[in-house]
């Protein structure tokens, strides 16, 4: 069994964050070790509060895990503070961690900011050069590229701009009438994975599921393109099986 390291926030409602990461890993036959960066108070309607974990304790969690078990891959989700971004980058460099997947979590779907002001530039300057692949959705890709991303031409341009920061790029969730696409750019080639649009509001945690599945498949030794194809298919299935839970958007089911 392979094992991955997840560095991310906790979702008290159980639909996203480390809870989704652990469920995804288990479903794919991998073991997820975790370092929690923040604890949220949330339900299906939104996040009411975020409690940041001290940077020293984030580091303690990671160091303690790595003393015993070197991960096959690393998935990084919500970091919340610029200090956490810098510390995680330091740990990656110190331990020469491989196959690092960053899901750049900037804000919740309900609008609450999940990364403090100024931390995005730190992420781009300090963390991305040490990252293997970054997996922004359309909104996140637009923030990273500094321009609105909507059509296919804009998605490709954004991927090329983000690639200049270091990591390979997988932009998820491109929607075109009755189809959607995940796009991969490795610095040379563009690959697209299309699927029919899934009409559901129960998509909470889909980004977490995708990035964790990608980390697991990369940890198994698959190429970026193959790992993305498999993560694309796995996440689509999780969205199809999404379920009602609470009065708002329900979670996907990995």
Q: What is the 3-state secondary structure (H, E, C) of the chain?
A: CCEEEEEEEECCCCCCHHHHHHHHHHHCCCEEEEEEEEEEEEECCEEEEEEECCHHHHHHHHHHHHHHCCCCEEEECCCECHHHHHHHHHHHHHHCCCCEEECCCCECCCCCECECCCHHHHHHHHHHHHCCEECCEHHHHHHHHCCCCCCHHHHHHHHHHHHCCCCEEEEEEEEECCEEEEEEECCCCEEEEEEECCCCCCCECHHHHHHHHHHHHHHCCCCHHHHHHHHHHHHHHHHHCCCCCCCCCCECCC
pLDDT of residue 179: 86
pLDDT of residue 77: 98
**Beta-bridge mates of residue 204:** 251
The three-point CA angle 180-181-184 to 5° equals 170
pLDDT of residue 113: 87
Token duo for residue 34: 């975790």
Model-level pTM?
0.97
pLDDT of residue 65: 98
Sequence-separated (6 or more) residues with CB below 8 Å from residue 80: 9, 37, 38, 50, 52, 114, 115, 116, 119
The Cα–Cα gap between 246 and 128 comes to: 36
Strands 190-196 and 179-185: antiparallel
Q: In terms of CATH, what superfamily is 3-240?
A: Ribokinase (3.40.1190.20)
**Mean pLDDT in consecutive groups of 10 residues from the start of the chain, 254 residues:** 98 97 98 98 94 98 98 98 98 98 88 88 97 96 93 94 98 82 96 93 95 98 98 97 95 96
pLDDT of residue 227: 98
- State the angle between helix axes of 55-68 and 82-95 in degrees (0 to 180), rounded to the nearest 10: 20
């Amino acid at each position: 069994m392979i094992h991955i390291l997840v560095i991310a926030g906790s979702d008290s409602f159980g639909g996203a964050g480390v809870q989704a990461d652990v469920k995804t890993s288990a479903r794919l036959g991998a073991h997820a070790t975790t370092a929690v960066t923040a604890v949220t108070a949330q339900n299906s309607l939104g996040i009411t509060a975020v409690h940041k974990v001290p940077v020293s304790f984030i580091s303690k969690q990671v160091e303690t895990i790595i003393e015993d078990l070197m991960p096959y891959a690393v998935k990084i989700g919500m970091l919340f503070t610029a200090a956490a971004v810098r510390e995680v980058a330091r740990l990656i460099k110190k331990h020469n961690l491989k196959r690092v997947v960053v899901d750049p979590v900037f804000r919740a779907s309900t609008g609450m900011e999940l990364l403090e002001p100024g931390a995005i530039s730190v992420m781009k300057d300090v963390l991305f050069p040490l990252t293997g692949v970054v997996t922004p959705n359309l909104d996140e890709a637009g923030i990273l590229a500094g321009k609105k991303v909507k059509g296919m031409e804009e998605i490709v341009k954004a991927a090329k701009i983000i690639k200049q920061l270091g990591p390979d790029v997988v932009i998820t969730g491109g929607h075109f009438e009755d189809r959607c696409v995940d796009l991969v750019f490795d610095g040379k080639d563009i690959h697209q994975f299309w699927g029919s649009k899934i009409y559901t509001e129960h998509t909470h945690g889909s980004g977490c599921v995708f990035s964790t599945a990608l980390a697991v498949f990369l940890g198994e030794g698959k190429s970026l393109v193959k790992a993305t194809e498999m993560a694309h298919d796995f996440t689509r299935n999780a969205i199809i099986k999404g379920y009602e839970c609470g009065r708002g958007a329900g979670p996907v089911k990995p």
